[in-house]
Structure formats: structure tokens, C-alpha cells
């Protein structure tokens, strides 16, 4: 039970919501019928009006105005080929450029193969129909088109819902890990934020890489879930034995994520975020560019946050001290090129440090792609 009296949702219940979201209530689909002959237009309307909402146009130019105004609501268009001012293939080609989701059918009075091939290639035509047509045959073709549209919409809706679930799950795991130690509260979020700031200043970095980097940042310490709290929260100097246990967390992380296909590359990155440029890091002693680029980025972000956050054994250090320490480790602990990028971005590190949650909210790639408010995401999980 949560503070507001609502029940905490299980992941099974959340997944059920995903499935239900893929099967929305059956609202009538909107069809646009385009033909310059009134009798043909009337026949089309009579055939289809019992199952669908109908709007009509008598030529391509008029129909384009309708699409401009209502295109997002239109599910399917049936257009005649031979019309004054604009032929059906030209009209449907323009529709494809602005509203590719709309299912398109072409009515034609003759079997001109060149026209049919051209229409299929340019218009992304679902099907052509020869005139005269049987109403029952037309109804079946339209129904097939609508089912194809719904299938694609349901797939997109489910993928989005699953992305929401994936993101909130990652955030929840990250928050749960940070909560093991009051001194590391928010650590994973801040490391992720600093990593994304570094990526922002790098050349030739696309959103896919940033999304994977963000996931890696949020999960970079997940291996510590398997380490006892009394070790993680230990104050003072660590014994060699305890330090060896701490050092096992990158490999534990890799084992935890290894069987999740979407996180294959992320698990490799996280196994390497304590490697050092000069080869003296752990667990494998990788050197230079043997270390994945994302792990080299997270190493700088992790170190900066560790120094500028309070710990059980010391108070937080000022930005300038952390900056100077990172610069002094250029070419030994850290990738020299990334340290140079850090120097360019250090003013943004200092700004972000003072308001990490809001700054992360603005820089997050996962949130941008999902396009869902953070509070709404939290409701889905909790």
C-alpha cells in the first residue's frame, strides 16, 4: 500500500496493462472516398457507411485539403485513378509523403500495367480495385486494409509501452541500489547525467549510443546488489580482502545482465568501467582502446561524482578539486581524449551538480524517446 492509499502494482499487472493497451476499444475508422463521378461516390458511400465514418471529395486537390485538415484521423483512402486536375496516383503519392500511415486503395477502370506498377511503387498502395466492383468484394478489401493498419498501430503501441516498462524498471533497480547506502543516494542518476554531458560534447555520437550509454550509467553499479551492506557501507580504509570483494562487482554486473538480449553490449561495457587507460585497472587489466568507449566515459563520470559527493569517511570535494584530479590522471587512469572533452564540458558538470534531477530530466535520451512524463512513468511501476 502506498501513502496515497493505492495498491502497489506488480510487474505482472503492468505487463497486463501493456497487453490491454494494444487492444483499444473499437471506434469507427474514418475513410476518405475520392471520385469525380457522383454515382460512383454514392455507391462507395452506401457500401461502406454501415461500418465506417465517411468523408468524401470529388477531386485530388479537394481531397488534399481534407487530408491536410484531418489526415491524422483518416485510416484509409479509396481514390479513383482518372479524375480531372489530378490523377489518383499523383494524389496518393502526395498523401504518402505527409501521412504514410494511411492505407491507400486505387480504383481503376482498366488494367494498365504501367499505371499499376507506378502506383504501387510511388504511393505505397495497399491494393488496386478494377471497376466495376462488387460491393462485397470491396468490403473485404477495405476490412483487410483496416486490419493491417490496426496491426501496425498495435505493434507500435506495444513497443512504446514496453519501452516505458523497460525504462521504469531500469530506474527502479538503479534507485533501489543507491538506497542501500544513504551516502550514495542518487549516485547512479548523477553518473548517468555526467556521462550524457560528456557524450554531448563528442563528435559522431548518435542517439542510439546515448540511449545505451544512459542505460549503462543507470546500471553501472548493479553488481553491488550481490555485496553485503556491511561491506558497501564500511567506513575507513578497506582491507585487501574487503577490497577484492568490492572489485568483484563489475563481473557480477556482467553475469546479472548477460541473459538479457537488449543489454548484451551494456553488460560488456559495465564489466569494464573500472579499467584504466594504462592497464592497471580491473577486472581484466584492459589498456587504452581495448576498453569500450562507454566504459571510459562512465569512468570519468563515476570518479567526478565520487569526489563531489559526501561519503561516510569524508565530506564532498569542490568541483575544482575534482577537475584537477581528473586532469592529473589524463593518460594514466583516463582516456586523454575524453579528459580533453571533459575540460570543455566542465562548466556544465558544475551547473548540473547543483540540480541533478532537473538536469537529468532535460538531458535524458530514454525519456525523450518514450515521451512520457516522469511522474506518469513512476505511477506505472509503483
All structural domains of the chain, each given as residue ranges with its CATH number in brackets, are: 30-155 (3.40.50.2300), 179-381 (1.10.3210.10)
For residue 155, what pLDDT is reported? 77
For residue 258, what pLDDT is reported? 72
For residue 162, what pLDDT is reported? 62
Sheet with 127-130, strands from edge to edge, namely: 53-57, 30-34, 74-80, 103-108, 127-130
Place of cell 547506502: 181
Cis peptide before 283 (omega within 30 of 0): yes
For residue 29, what pLDDT is reported? 94
For residue 271, what pLDDT is reported? 84
- In angstroms, the CA 190 to CA 19 distance is 33
Q: Which segments of the chain have a pLDDT < 70?
A: 1-26, 110-116, 118-120, 158-167, 171, 174-184, 226, 228-237, 259-262, 312-313, 369-382
For residue 338, what pLDDT is reported? 97
Contacts of range 45-51, beta carbons closer than 8 Å, 24 or more positions apart? 46/135, 47/135, 47/138, 47/139, 48/138, 48/139, 48/142, 51/139, 51/143
Query: Helix %, strand %, coil % for the chain, to 5?
Result: 60, 10, 30
C-alpha cell at 380: 506505472
Please check whether residue 374 is in contact with residue 8, taking contact to mean a CB–CB distance below 8 angstroms: no
Choose the catalytic residue: 224, 252, 276, 380.
Answer: 224
For residue 376, what pLDDT is reported? 45
Angle at 115 between CA 111 and CA 117, to 5 degrees: 100
Please check whether residue 260 is in contact with residue 241, taking contact to mean a CB–CB distance below 8 angstroms: no
For residue 33, what pLDDT is reported? 97
- In angstroms, the CA 92 to CA 111 distance is 18
- In angstroms, the CA 220 to CA 223 distance is 8
For residue 365, what pLDDT is reported? 86
C-alpha cell at 214: 544512459
What 3-state class would DSSP assign to 154?
helix
The DSSP 8-state label assigned to residue 28 in this structure reads P
The DSSP secondary structure of 47-86, one letter per residue, reads HHTTTSEEEEESSHHHHHHHHHHHGGGEEEEEEESS-SSS
C-alpha cell at 122: 510511388
The DSSP secondary structure of 351-364, one letter per residue, reads HHHHSHHHHHHHH-
180 is annotated as an active-site residue: no
How many residues are recorded in the chain?
Answer: 382
CA distances from residue 149 to 76, 100, 191, 304 in whole angstroms, order as listed: 9, 11, 42, 49
* H or E stretch at 108: strand 103-108
Please check whether residue 333 is in contact with residue 278, taking contact to mean a CB–CB distance below 8 angstroms: yes
Nearest to 71, CA basis, from 90, 52, 49, 98: 98
Amino acid at each position: 500500500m502506498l501513502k496515497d492509499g493505492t495498491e502497489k502494482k506488480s510487474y505482472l499487472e503492468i505487463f497486463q496493462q501493456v497487453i490491454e493497451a494494444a487492444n483499444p476499444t473499437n471506434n469507427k475508422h474514418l475513410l476518405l472516398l475520392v471520385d469525380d463521378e457522383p454515382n460512383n461516390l454514392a455507391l462507395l458511400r452506401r457500401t461502406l457507411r454501415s461500418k465506417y465514418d465517411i468523408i468524401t471529395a470529388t477531386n485530388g486537390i479537394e481531397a488534399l485539403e481534407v487530408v491536410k485538415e484531418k489526415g491524422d484521423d483518416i485510416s484509409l483512402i479509396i481514390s479513383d485513378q482518372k479524375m480531372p486536375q489530378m490523377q489518383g496516383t499523383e494524389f496518393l503519392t502526395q498523401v504518402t509523403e505527409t501521412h504514410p500511415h494511411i492505407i491507400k486503395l486505387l480504383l481503376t477502370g482498366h488494367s494498365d500495367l504501367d499505371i499499376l506498377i507506378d502506383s504501387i511503387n510511388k504511393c505505397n498502395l495497399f491494393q488496386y480495385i478494377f471497376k466495376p466492383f462488387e460491393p462485397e468484394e470491396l468490403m473485404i478489401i477495405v476490412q483487410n486494409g483496416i486490419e493491417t493498419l490496426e496491426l501496425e498501430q498495435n505493434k507500435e503501441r506495444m513497443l512504446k509501452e514496453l519501452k516505458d516498462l523497460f525504462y521504469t524498471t531500469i530506474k527502479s533497480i538503479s534507485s533501489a541500489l543507491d538506497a542501500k547506502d544513504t551516502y550514495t543516494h542518487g549516485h547512479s542518476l548523477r553518473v548517468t547525467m555526467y556521462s550524457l554531458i560528456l557524450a554531448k560534447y563528442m563528435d559522431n555520437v548518435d542517439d542510439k549510443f546515448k540511449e545505451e550509454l544512459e542505460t549503462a550509467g543507470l546500471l553501472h553499479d548493479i553488481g553491488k546488489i550481490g555485496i553485503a551492506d556491511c561491506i558497501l557501507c564500511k567506513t575507513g580504509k578497506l582491507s585487501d580482502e574487503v577490497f577484492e570483494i568490492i572489485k568483484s562487482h563489475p563481473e557480477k554486473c556482467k553475469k546479472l545482465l548477460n541473459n538479457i538480449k537488449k543489454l548484451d553490449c551494456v553488460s560488456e561495457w559495465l564489466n569494464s568501467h573500472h579499467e584504466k587507460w594504462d592497464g592497471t585497472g580491473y577486472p581484466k587489466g584492459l589498456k587504452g582502446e581495448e576498453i569500450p568507449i562507454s566504459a571510459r566515459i562512465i569512468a570519468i563520470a563515476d570518479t567526478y561524482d565520487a569526489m563531489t559527493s559526501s561519503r561516510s569517511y569524508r565530506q564532498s570535494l569542490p568541483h575544482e578539486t575534482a577537475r584537477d584530479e581528473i586532469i592529473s590522471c589524463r593518460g594514466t587512469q583516463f582516456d586523454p581524449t575524453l579528459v580533453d572533452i571533459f575540460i570543455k564540458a566542465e562548466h556544465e558538470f558544475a551547473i548540473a551538480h547543483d540540480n541533478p534531477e532537473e538536469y537529468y530530466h532535460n538531458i535524458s535520451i530514454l525519456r525523450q524517446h518514450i515521451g512520457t512524463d516522469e511522474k506518469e512513468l513512476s505511477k506505472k511501476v509503483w
